[in-house]
């Protein structure tokens, strides 16, 4: 079979892989703190006996876009965003420590402080558990202060402090759950330089316009590969007809 058919078929497959990455980004355009996955194509020669004369396309994910999303003011006391660099430490489903920029927090009926996706926020002694309160305040350094429910006190009492970290971005990797972890499975050290802004959340850094344009370009590329496969098939059919005539 003509090698060009395999080249076109592989090109169509790689375009579909790139389209899935782009679709995943678009699906999370409204996810707080989401960081877009990057995608690119490159040529990959096929090595084997003889010279690597055949070159195929390969779609790959070279990394993550760590650009900050826009800050949206909500006025909600449980919403926080990070000013500049830094991450909020959370406990993932497997019990390991992970990091996120999603600051739309909530309190479960059991008193656990969790993210919108249900990941417990880590404090000084593990997952943060809060008693019922009349009022709560999250300071710029992650300190959580409350006025206990039914208390006659007039000042807030500190109950815990969120673990805020600022590891090197090159050491972070993104998991299938959208959370970030340090390579090697180690935990990041707490950073006193990370600052929070209460009453606001960070939006996704996905650009809807760029993603839609990319989707159209990938769709056209896929159509081109399919047309190439049909052209090769037509040429083979024509060649077979000529052989029968001879």
Q: Is the dihedral of CA 163, 166, 167, 172 positive or negative?
A: positive
Report helix, strand or coil for 7: helix
CA dihedral 5, 11, 17, 20 (to 10 degrees): -100
User: Mean pLDDT over all residues of the chain?
Assistant: 90
Lowest mean pLDDT among 45-59, 119-133, 187-201, 205-219: 45-59
160-167: average pLDDT: 96
Q: Is the pLDDT at 246 greater than 60, yes or no?
A: no
Percent of the chain clearing pLDDT 70 (strictly above): 98
Stated length of the chain = 246
CB 140 within 8 A of CB 197: yes
**12 phi and psi, to 5 degrees?**
-65, -40
Percent of the chain clearing pLDDT 90 (strictly above): 66
Q: Is the pLDDT at 1 greater than 60, yes or no?
A: no
Tell me the C-alpha distance between 88 and 99, whole Å.
5
| pLDDT tens track for 34-91 | 999 999 988 888 787 877 777 888 888 888 999 999 999 999 999 999 999 999 999 9
Return the domain boundaries, the chain.
3-66+206-245, 71-202
Tokens of 169: 């971005």
Tell me the C-alpha distance between 68 and 28, whole Å.
15
Residue 188 gets which letter from DSSP? P
DSSP secondary structure letters along 69-133: --EEE---TTBEEEESS-EEEEE-TTS-EEEE---B-EE-TT-BEE-TTSPBBEETTEE-B---E
Tell me the C-alpha distance between 45 and 50, whole Å.
12
170-188: average pLDDT: 93
Query: Would you place residue 244 in the very low, low, confident or very high pLDDT band (cuts 50, 70, 90)?
Result: confident
Give the count of alpha carbons within 13 A of 68, CB side only: 12
203-214: average pLDDT: 95
Region label for 138, one of left (φ > 0), alpha (ψ between -120 and 50) or beta (otherwise): beta
Tell me the C-alpha distance between 127 and 120, whole Å.
6
Lowest mean pLDDT among 15-19, 42-46, 75-79, 178-182: 42-46
pLDDT for 2: 65
pLDDT for 64: 93
Q: Identify the bridge partners of residue 172 per DSSP, sorted by sequence position.
A: 182
101-110: average pLDDT: 94
Tell me the C-alpha distance between 153 and 150, whole Å.
9
Q: Identify the bridge partners of residue 73 per DSSP, sorted by sequence position.
A: 200
| CA nearest neighbour of 9 among 235, 227, 238, 239 | 227
Tell me which of 63 and 245 has the higher pLDDT.
63
């Amino acid at each position: 079979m003509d090698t060009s058919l395999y080249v076109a078929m592989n090109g169509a497959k790689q375009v579909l892989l790139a389209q899935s990455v782009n679709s995943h980004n678009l699906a999370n355009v409204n996810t707080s703190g989401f960081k877009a996955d990057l995608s690119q194509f490159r040529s990959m020669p096929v090595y084997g006996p003889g010279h690597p004369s055949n070159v195929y396309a390969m779609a790959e994910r070279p990394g993550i876009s760590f650009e900050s999303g826009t800050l949206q003011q909500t006025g909600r006391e449980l919403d926080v965003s990070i000013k500049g660099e830094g991450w909020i430490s959370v406990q993932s489903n497997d019990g390991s420590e992970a990091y996120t920029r999603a600051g739309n927090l909530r309190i479960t009926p059991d008193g656990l402080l969790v993210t919108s996706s249900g990941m417990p926020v880590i404090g000084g002694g593990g997952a943060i558990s809060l008693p019922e309160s009349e009022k709560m305040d999250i300071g710029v350094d992650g300190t959580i202060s409350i006025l206990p429910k039914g208390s006659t006190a007039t000042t807030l009492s500190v109950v815990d402090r969120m673990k805020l970290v600022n590891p090197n971005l090159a050491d972070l990797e993104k998991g299938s759950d959208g959370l970030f972890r340090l390579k090697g499975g180690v935990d990041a050290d707490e950073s006193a330089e990370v600052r929070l802004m209460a009453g606001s959340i960070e939006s996704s850094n996905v650009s809807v316009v760029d993603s839609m344009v990319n989707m159209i370009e990938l769709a056209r590329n896929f159509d081109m590969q399919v047309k190439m496969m049909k052209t090769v098939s037509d040429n083979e059919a024509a060649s077979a007809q000529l052989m029968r005539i001879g």
